[in-house]
Amino acid sequence: MTDTGGGGESLFEEMMAEAVDPLYLELPDGDDTAAWTLHAVDSDGVIDLDDLTGALDVVEALVGDELAGEVLDVLADLPWDRTLDTAALLRRHFTLVELRPGLWPQLVEQIDLYGEAIESDLADRGIDLLDFFRGARPWTQLARMLPRLPEGSRYRAALLDDEDLARARIEAEDDEDDDAPSKSDRPPLIGETQDRALLRQAVSFLRRIEHGLYNSRAPKSKRSKAPDPLKGPETAEDRLRDLLGDADVEDIFDQVTPGWNRGDDVPSGFKRNLSGLLVPDD
């Protein structure tokens, strides 16, 4: 019997081995029985799942290079349905469900690179990262959560501290078309509160005071224009006003706002219901 898996350099494999019970794989081998204990599947095989079409390829990829030769030699002498069953068993035991193309490589990479930071951030929110390996939570939920972890999280800090990722971002910026739209200088709408808005106003006020003090002492040739107030998050209404102009926006609001919010006249003998429609005033 061969004992393998879970001891490599892949954090994804280490967490899988910690979360999931070992798989005791047995296959008939002539008059004997071949057996292997798998603590985890090969993370490179998980990454390749999108490109694997046959059950034999799935088994070879998931058991890893160390065991692939042994397992495939045994399966070669068995009916084809044993290969199908083995591939299904590996995926089922280690919760390797079907995901949209590209998601498995993304998940394995993020956990291998930033798994400890992700685990800590989720623990702060009462979520155990190992639950995704156990099948207690769907992998698609983790994929949705990662990009939405807030500023100041360990995961976001790890991304910002990754030199390879920083280099890739810089190279991507250099390759961008000059006509590409510039990034917004406004803060994100998520997390905006009244406290943040008041703090932004206070900072804007202090900047204008600082500018005024500088201009009062600087030569006339070096005086500058007062800084603009710091911008808040951009809302859908802001974008609509920029696109259509204030007058057109008010017309749109009139069309979608119930009549009791508008100051229009109501003909004698009628009234507006809560939907803004004219009805007889009984």
| Segment-wise mean pLDDT, segments of 10 residues, the chain, 282 residues | 60 96 94 94 95 93 94 94 96 95 96 96 96 96 94 92 88 66 69 81 84 80 81 77 66 57 60 59 67
**Given this model, what pLDDT does residue 76 score?**
93
pLDDT attached to residue 20: 96
| pLDDT given for residue 151 in this prediction | 84
Q: What is the largest CA-CA distance in the chain?
A: 99
Given this model, what pLDDT does residue 12 score?
97
Q: Can you give the pLDDT at residue 253?
A: 59
Global confidence as pTM: 0.71
Closest to 214 in 3D by CA, of 204, 205, 203, 226 = 226
Other CB atoms within 10 A of residue 133 CB: 21
Residues 111/49, Cβ–Cβ less than 8 Å: no
DSSP secondary structure letter of residue 96: -
Specify the pLDDT at position 57: 95
pLDDT of residue 260: 47
Tell me which amino acid residue 75 is: L
Q: What local confidence, expressed as pLDDT, does residue 1 receive?
A: 47
- Determine the pLDDT at residue 127: 97
